[in-house]
């Protein structure tokens, strides 16, 4: 049987040659990063294909279908594995690259293998970037907007690239479709082709082995079973890690993208350094942070085999390259940490500045309406960002029962507009939304005896704060004070 296959395909001898390949110096756990990255890629392809069975790319369905995935435990688990698998793949790719640089494995005759590797890094980053938009929640929208606007900095063809990825004057269905096409077709196809080339060249050159002056006295090792065993152990550890993260820290889906709300986006961790760089350069020199510095860094990376031309791979004789590496890593770390801190600061500032705006507006409204709650709602009211975000939460979660305008249904669902309870003690309103409500109540002469579901496990503290702010300050003629996420967090305990 094997003979029959061998004569027609050559697969048997190919497999044999592959399994008995020499591993200079013996098998080692140092060599597992490449195969672990490959394994993470396979996990991404498998989970990604599964997700396409549920995801629907359009402005009307992207968030909704993602929400469907989040609402179903198994689908949610697969999505979480895909989410953490992306981080794992990029982290392993960086470790693999780091080791190749430290051991000088990019040197002749492996220059082309190295360049293909750098291209793989770029393709993987684009996969991360395009995947980030697909859930179409607030963060997806605003973080991708930053990225899309950066393409305008590309010399000559910037406007064309921006037009291609966004397709229109604002982000919408066409943008989602472009990102979807890149994320599930073009980039994976490029990835698989490049990985094929990377591995084929690897088979041609063989493993580089440890960085020693003279490789001849190195003991011989074999790929099977020693190295294959270690590679399997490493892949298994990756799988366990990703599954554990997916189970204990699943990602979070924010409210659907709403371009009218102000939002401080948070990029994926592997883009934090670039984000920091952009914040460092003054606005009109954006091109330096967006194109020039990343471009130079990529060019240096590709040209590394020609920058470090000596034939030796011994660490002691390659001080310059190792210093350069240390220097680059320090800058990348510093930018990442700085970026993280500055985004957190901005988010806090936004959370703190939201409510006072409502308070000021409410003051204005009170004077205008003579302090009465019974005036018709002013249709021209400019609502605060928090109330605007709350309106979205309201339409998605509350309007089915309480009505789009908060009028309720007589005998079944109490009105929220013109309801003194809603504009009364904010703490009671928050507690009602968090914990739900049952039992008979009287609102403006009507009696209700239903059950309001609790929201504390479905909505974040921020969502609850926003929706309470909205029903208190902007629904119908209600013009009471806003509440903050901190108020909610206090009562949630």
What are 48's two structure tokens? 């990604």
Residue 453 binds to ligand HEC (criterion: CB under 6 A): yes
The phi, psi pair for 174, rounded to 5°, reads: -65, -40
24 exposure class (CB count in 10 Å sphere: 0-12, 13-18, 19+):
middle
Residue (of 377, 363, 375, 399) closest to 476 by Cα position: 377
- Identify the residue among 21, 174, 421, 456 touching ligand HEC (CB under 6 A): 421
- Identify the residue among 99, 302, 340, 437 touching ligand HEC (CB under 6 A): 437
Nearest distance, CB of residue 409 and ligand HEC, angstroms? 9
What is the enclosing helix (H) or strand (E) of 64? helix 62-71
Q: Rounded to whole angstroms, how far apart are CA atoms 385 and 351?
A: 10
Residue 409 binds to ligand HEC (criterion: CB under 6 A): no
Nearest distance, CB of residue 241 and ligand HEC, angstroms? 36
Site string for ligand HEC, 238-277 (x = CB under 6 A): ----------------------------------------
Under 8 Å between Cβ of 268 and 89: no
- Identify the residue among 455, 473, 483, 491 touching ligand HEC (CB under 6 A): 455
Residue 124 binds to ligand HEC (criterion: CB under 6 A): no
Q: Rounded to whole angstroms, how far apart are CA atoms 303 and 123?
A: 18
Residue 376 binds to ligand HEC (criterion: CB under 6 A): no
Residue 432 binds to ligand HEC (criterion: CB under 6 A): yes
Q: Rounded to whole angstroms, how far apart are CA atoms 432 and 99?
A: 56
Beta strands in 260-417 (DSSP E): none
For ligand HEC, the closer of residues 282 and 439 by Cβ is 439
Centroid of chain to Cα 381:
35
Nearest distance, CB of residue 119 and ligand HEC, angstroms? 48
Region binding ligand HEC by CB under 6 A among candidate stretches 91-99, 344-352, 378-386, 430-438: 430-438
Residue 471 binds to ligand HEC (criterion: CB under 6 A): yes
- Identify the residue among 419, 423, 466, 477 touching ligand HEC (CB under 6 A): 419
Residue 118 binds to ligand HEC (criterion: CB under 6 A): no
Residue 400 binds to ligand HEC (criterion: CB under 6 A): yes
What are 61's two structure tokens? 């369905």
- Residues touching ligand HEC, count (CB under 6 A): 28
For ligand HEC, the closer of residues 148 and 452 by Cβ is 452
- Can you give the length of the chain in residues? 493
Nearest distance, CB of residue 376 and ligand HEC, angstroms? 21
Nearest distance, CB of residue 448 and ligand HEC, angstroms? 4
Q: Rounded to whole angstroms, how far apart are CA atoms 258 and 142?
A: 9
Nearest distance, CB of residue 442 and ligand HEC, angstroms? 8
Nearest distance, CB of residue 470 and ligand HEC, angstroms? 8
Under 8 Å between Cβ of 221 and 25: yes
Site for ligand HEC in 342-371 (CB under 6 A): none
Angstrom CA distances, 136 to 6, 143, 211, 283, 377, stand at 50, 10, 47, 27, 32
Residue 407 binds to ligand HEC (criterion: CB under 6 A): no
DSSP state of 107: S
Residue (of 321, 345, 324, 297) closest to 125 by Cα position: 297
Residue 433 binds to ligand HEC (criterion: CB under 6 A): yes
User: 437 - beta bridge partners?
Assistant: 452
- Identify the residue among 171, 277, 452, 491 touching ligand HEC (CB under 6 A): 452
Site string for ligand HEC, 218-237 (x = CB under 6 A): --------------------
In 167-270, which ranges are continuous DSSP H helix? 173-181, 187-205, 228-248
- Identify the residue among 12, 287, 297, 401 touching ligand HEC (CB under 6 A): 401
Q: Rounded to whole angstroms, how far apart are CA atoms 173 and 58?
A: 4
Residue 439 binds to ligand HEC (criterion: CB under 6 A): yes
Torsion over CA of 24, 28, 30 and 31, rounded to 10 degrees?
A: 60
- Identify the residue among 37, 80, 144, 397 touching ligand HEC (CB under 6 A): 397
Q: Rounded to whole angstroms, how far apart are CA atoms 381 and 175?
A: 31
Interface with ligand HEC (CB under 6 A): 397-398, 400-402, 413-414, 416, 419, 421-422, 429, 432-433, 437-439, 441, 443, 448-453, 455, 467, 471
């Amino acid at each position: 049987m094997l003979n029959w296959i061998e004569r027609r395909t050559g697969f048997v001898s190919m497999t044999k040659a592959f399994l008995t390949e020499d591993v200079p110096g013996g098998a080692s756990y140092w060599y597992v990063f490449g195969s672990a990255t490959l394994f993470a890629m396979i996990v991404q392809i498998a989970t990604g294909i599964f997700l396409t069975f549920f995801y629907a790319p359009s402005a009307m369905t992207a968030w909704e279908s993602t929400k469907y995935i989040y609402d179903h435990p198994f689908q949610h688990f697969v999505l979480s594995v895909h989410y953490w698998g992306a981080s794992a793949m990029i982290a392993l790719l960086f470790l693999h690259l780091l080791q190749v640089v430290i051991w000088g494995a990019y040197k002749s005759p492996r220059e082309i293998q190295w360049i293909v590797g750098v291209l793989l890094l770029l393709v993987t980053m684009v996969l991360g970037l395009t995947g980030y938009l697909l859930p179409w929640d607030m963060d997806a929208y605003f973080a991708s907007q930053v990225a899309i606007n950066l393409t305008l900095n590309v010399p000559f063809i910037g406007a064309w690239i921006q037009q291609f990825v966004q397709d229109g004057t604002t982000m919408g269905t066409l943008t989602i479709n472009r990102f979807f096409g890149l994320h599930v077709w073009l980039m994976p196809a490029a990835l698989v082709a490049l990985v094929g080339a990377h591995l084929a060249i690897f088979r041609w050159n063989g493993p580089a082995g440890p960085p020693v002056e003279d490789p001849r006295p190195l003991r011989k090792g074999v790929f099977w079973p020693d190295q294959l065993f270690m590679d399997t152990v490493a892949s298994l550890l990756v799988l366990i890690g990703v599954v554990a993260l997916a189970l204990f820290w699943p990602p979070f889906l924010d409210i659907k993208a709403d371009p009218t709300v102000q939002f401080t986006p948070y990029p994926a961790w592997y883009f934090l350094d670039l984000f920091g760089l952009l914040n460092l350069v003054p606005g009109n020199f954006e091109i330096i942070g967006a194109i020039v510095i990343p471009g130079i860094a990529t060019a240096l990376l590709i040209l590394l085999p020609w920058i470090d031309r000596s034939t030796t791979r011994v660490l002691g004789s390659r001080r310059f390259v190792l210093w350069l590496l240390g220097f680059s890593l320090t800058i990348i770390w510093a930018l990442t940490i700085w970026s993280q801190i500055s985004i957190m600061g901005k988010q806090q500032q936004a959370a703190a500045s939201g409510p006072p705006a409502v308070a000021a507006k409410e003051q204005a409204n009170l004077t205008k309406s003579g302090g009465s709650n019974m005036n018709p709602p002013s249709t021209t009211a400019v609502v605060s960002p928090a109330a605007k975000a709350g309106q979205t939460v309201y339409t998605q979660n509350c309007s089915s029962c309480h009505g789009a305008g908060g009028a309720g249904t007589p005998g079944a669902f109490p009105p929220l507009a013109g309801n003194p309870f809603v504009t009364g003690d904010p703490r009671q309103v928050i507690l009602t939304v968090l914990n739900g409500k049952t039992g008979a109540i009287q609102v403006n002469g009507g009696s209700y005896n239903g059950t309001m579901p609790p929201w504390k496990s479905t909505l974040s503290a921020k969502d609850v704060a926003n929706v309470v702010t909205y029903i208190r300050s902007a629904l119908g003629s209600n013009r009471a004070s806003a509440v903050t996420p901190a108020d909610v967090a206090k009562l949630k305990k």
